[in-house]
Amino acid sequence: MIRHPGTAKYGLALAMLIALPSPVRAELASLGDQALSDVSGQGGIYLSGDVSINEMGGPVENSHFGRCDDATRKCGARFAWRLKETGGWMVLDDIRGNFSFEGLTLRVRHVDSGFGGDGELFNRDVLELGLPNTVRFNDVRFKIAASNTARPTDPGFLQTDIFSVEMRGEVVMEGNLLVFPTGNP
Amino acid sequence: MARIDGAGLGLVFENFKFSHGTDQPDANGEQARIFRISGIKSTDGRDVDITVNHLYISGTGSNYGENLSPVNLGRLANPWEIDVVDGNTIGVPDKAVLQFSAPSQVAAAEGYDCFGASASAGTGTCSSRPATADYIGERADVGIQMNVAVGDDRSANINIHAKSAVIDGSYLRLWGDNNRHQMVGQFKLNFYSPEVSINACAQDGSSCGSRIILSNFALELALGNELQPMLFDVDGSGNFVVEIAAIRQPASGEIGADGLRSSSNAETWDFYNSYYTNPDYRSNLSIGNFSVADRDFGSARVQGMLIQHLNIQTKDLAQ
């Protein structure tokens, strides 16, 4: 076992913390049936995520797709859709990279105040998506393109890459997204 | 149950703040943050790369993106919306129309002036409110700082900032066309800002040129309408095509030689009259004052622009 010189000091500090009287400590008490019936399922979800898309290369290996370290092959995912029955395809191509976030929250919230006076009039429940403050992108890339065939391995394949985007580092994304039905339900 | 109206999904961003950009390389040439748009080629075949140094959405008073603060986007009473709209109510008969919309504009008696930083209720048609001493408001400062490199030549940093911007009344509508078997759409962009500014700075930010200021900037752009929707397609060689088809010609004899209603087919005459007089089909741009440093050039206005035919097609220069 490796001993760090500071271990004993931490142990002492911890013991002192436990010994200190805590003003907020309260005893647990059982809830009566009546009180319990007023308790509704509360809380929400706290999410942390680390999503990788084709970071090393996808599962398909053929004349077009391959490992990312092979310069003659594409390694990102491809998503193609058509805007006209017999027309060409819009493509989101070469999607790869990794992004991670800490603290995306999801809960139901009752809004009845704030929002410059709008909250009081609104007085309803909303679904609140708490944004994670920062999202860390690690070499996230994608390309917007237009192509005449859905798959790059189809005969006669032609593609025009319109532009590509590359993102790395921490993106600041603060706030809450509130989602609710509109109209007259 | 019969009274249930197709309810849409309302979206409001509360205390929202967004920022991303590209950092200067450190001693090892490593960059902590990168935000780059590339893949474009110049006419002589060199790579064009747009490096976004800073892109932000912030509350008002950000001092051109220096001090970011939170802002609300959309109002609970008038939010951003994703909805499927009954086409009969918006002039697209017997179609379900997918609509993405910003907060709508309201009657001038209830709304706020679209430019005024201290506008009160009943001064204009914008629903989003400016910031006050005790409320962050619903108008955002947005801006982008970027530089463009063509091959090895890199431009100065170009900064574009809009203060207290509002896009109330903007929407994107998408639906399918039965005859052409194609996705068609209608795009309306309203953009109001009391100050849009553009300037260029040296790469290291040490010196900047004069600031071009467009004050009380209003853009009301209408791309496509229910009679001439925008058509989206990709052609056989893999190029993206956006088209706004010309309005149909009247058959011979439908419109009289003198152009008056009395000598024409009344229905046809009314159709063209409403097409040419409908302000919703027209685009406007107005700038309250245009100035460069301490020189004022006065106001500019382009009004009632009707797009009669538009065809935009990407082209691969490598071919």
Q: Where are the domains of chain B?
A: 9-313
Say how many CA atoms lie within 13 Å of B217 toward its Cβ.
20
Q: Does residue B216 contact residue B174 with C-beta atoms inside 8 Å?
A: no
CA closest to A177 among chain B residues: B13
Which residues does chain A have within 8 Å of residue B314's beta carbon, measured at their own beta carbons? 146, 160, 162
A122 domain residue, yes or no: no
Residue A138 has which token pair? 């690690």
Average pLDDT of chain B to the nearest whole number? 88
Can you tell me whether residue A62 is helix, strand or coil?
Answer: coil
Q: How confident is the model at residue A9 (pLDDT cuts 50, 70, 90)?
A: very low
Give the ipTM: 0.85
Q: Is the pLDDT of residue A27 over 60?
A: yes
Q: Is the pLDDT of residue A10 over 50?
A: no
Q: Do A87 and B81 touch (CB under 8 A)?
A: no
What value does the mean pLDDT take over residues B1-9? 58
Residue with tokens 């553009």: B198
A174 domain residue, yes or no: yes
Q: How confident is the model at residue B216 (pLDDT cuts 50, 70, 90)?
A: very high
CA distance B4 to A117: 28
Q: How confident is the model at residue B6 (pLDDT cuts 50, 70, 90)?
A: low
Is residue A171 exposed (0-12), middle (13-18) or buried (19+ Cβ within 10 Å)? Answer: buried
Q: Do B39 and A115 touch (CB under 8 A)?
A: no
Q: Is the pLDDT of residue B215 over 90?
A: yes
The closest of A47, A52, A164, A165 to A99, measured between CA atoms, is A52
Residue B203 has which token pair? 């790469």
Residue A35 has which token pair? 């009180």
> Which domain range does residue A92 map to?
44-104+133-179
Q: Does residue A67 contact residue A75 with C-beta atoms inside 8 Å?
A: yes
**A134 min Cα distance to partner chain B (Å):** 9
What integer pLDDT is reported at residue A2 of this predicted model?
Answer: 44
What integer pLDDT is reported at residue B154 of this predicted model?
Answer: 83
Q: How confident is the model at residue A18 (pLDDT cuts 50, 70, 90)?
A: very low
β-strand partners of B232: B242
Q: What is the CA radius of gyration of chain A?
A: 27
Q: Does residue B151 contact residue B73 with C-beta atoms inside 8 Å?
A: no
Backbone φ and ψ for B64, nearest 5 degrees, come out as 55, 40
CA distance B69 to B54: 15
Is residue A36 exposed (0-12), middle (13-18) or buried (19+ Cβ within 10 Å)? Answer: exposed
- For residues B318 and B71, the model is more confident at B71
Q: How confident is the model at residue B319 (pLDDT cuts 50, 70, 90)?
A: very low
What integer pLDDT is reported at residue B318 of this predicted model?
Answer: 55
Q: Is the pLDDT of residue A23 over 60?
A: no
Q: How confident is the model at residue A25 (pLDDT cuts 50, 70, 90)?
A: low
CA closest to A136 among chain B residues: B33
Domains contained in chain A, number: 1
Q: Is the pLDDT of residue A21 over 50?
A: no
Which residues does chain B have within 8 Å of residue A173's beta carbon, measured at their own beta carbons? 17-18
Q: How confident is the model at residue B10 (pLDDT cuts 50, 70, 90)?
A: very high
A112 domain residue, yes or no: no
What integer pLDDT is reported at residue A88 of this predicted model?
Answer: 87
CA distance B39 to A142: 11
What value does the mean pLDDT take over residues B47-69? 91
> What does pTM read for this prediction?
0.82
**B236 min Cα distance to partner chain A (Å):** 5
Chain B, 258-277: which have a CB under 8 Å from a chain A CB?
none
What integer pLDDT is reported at residue A151 of this predicted model?
Answer: 87
Which residues does chain B have within 8 Å of residue A160's beta carbon, measured at their own beta carbons? 237-240, 314-316
